Amino acid sequence: MTKKNAALVEVLQTSVEAQIAGRSLWKDARIRFFRNKAAVISLVVLTLVALACAFGPMVLPHSYEDTDWNAMGIGPSFHDWHLFGTDELGRDLLVRTLIGGRISLVIGLLATIASVSVGIVWGATAGFIGGKVDSVMMRVVDMLYAIPYLLIAILMVTIFGRNFSLVVLTISIFSWMDMARVVRGQTLSIKSKEFIEAARAIGVPTWRIIFQHVVPNLLGIVVIYTTVTVPGVILTESVLSFLGLGVQEPMTSWGVLIEDGTNVMAATPWMILFPGAALSITLYCANYIGDGLRDALDPKDR
């Protein structure tokens, strides 16, 4: 065999080996996700909204609590850079919308992290241990489902007052049960797998099996469900703020701005239009991203 033929054979072998090696599941999911145009566009839009909320108030000339006595209740205009207009107190609506988005997004992120963490631990523990422990833990979940969260939110606000931490705590308390149910169901199907039996056979402690073997195999469903939880948490925060149970003035959120806008909707419709549009766009984008991740990580579509 000549050197030229040997080099050609080596190239062909390398190409065949690369095709046989294939792609990892996560790389395949990433490729499938970026083929979903709606999900990618939503990811870009949501990123731009988050960046605007994070850095926009730093570069704009107004503060969210400053009053412009010469521009009270004016509509959107380039006059003194009131691009979204002002409210009845002369405060710039653009800055307040961005600050409100910052608060709503941060509350949504923190409450989601807390609820997902509690739900994973609770559901994985109940599903893996099983028996009476599983029954007791899931009955606790059922009892919490029966408690109206608005009643508890009103009670907590009455006792502790309105503040940022209280809103996060209230939402977290009532948003982890769905994740616990989903994780428990997946854990019941995983704990009978061969690698779990092998870990038990060699004497691996239960807590290590749960957190080192069970939980990593739940990552796909957890990622999907987390993207569904985030818009739900943001919407819950907006509802609480709309009802006067959220953050306290002069701090604001999208729910507070929408509630303010409904009171003067006929005279100053921009006060409800812009924060309502920001909230709607964020929820739509989060839901489209969740749909894209679900399609990308669904083993039936591979």
Residue 43: predicted pLDDT: 92
Q: Do 177 and 138 touch, CB atoms closer than 8 A?
A: no
Residues 6+ apart with CB under 8 A from 56: 94, 95, 98
Q: Do 182 and 123 touch, CB atoms closer than 8 A?
A: yes
Residue 23: predicted pLDDT: 57
pLDDT digits over 210-235, tens only?
888 888 888 778 887 888 788 888 88
Residue 300: predicted pLDDT: 54
CATH architecture for segment(s) 25-297: Orthogonal Bundle (1.10)
pLDDT digits over 58-99, tens only?
888 888 887 777 777 787 877 777 788 888 888 888 899 999
Residue 16: predicted pLDDT: 43
Residue 9: predicted pLDDT: 45
283 has a pLDDT exceeding 70: yes
**Candidate ranges 3-17, 228-242, 280-294; pick with highest mean pLDDT:** 280-294
pLDDT digits over 172-198, tens only?
888 888 888 888 888 888 888 888 888
Residue 44: predicted pLDDT: 94
Alpha carbons 258 and 123: distance in angstroms, whole number:
36
- Mean pLDDT of the chain, nearest integer: 81
Residue 277 binned pLDDT confidence (cut-offs 50, 70, 90): very high
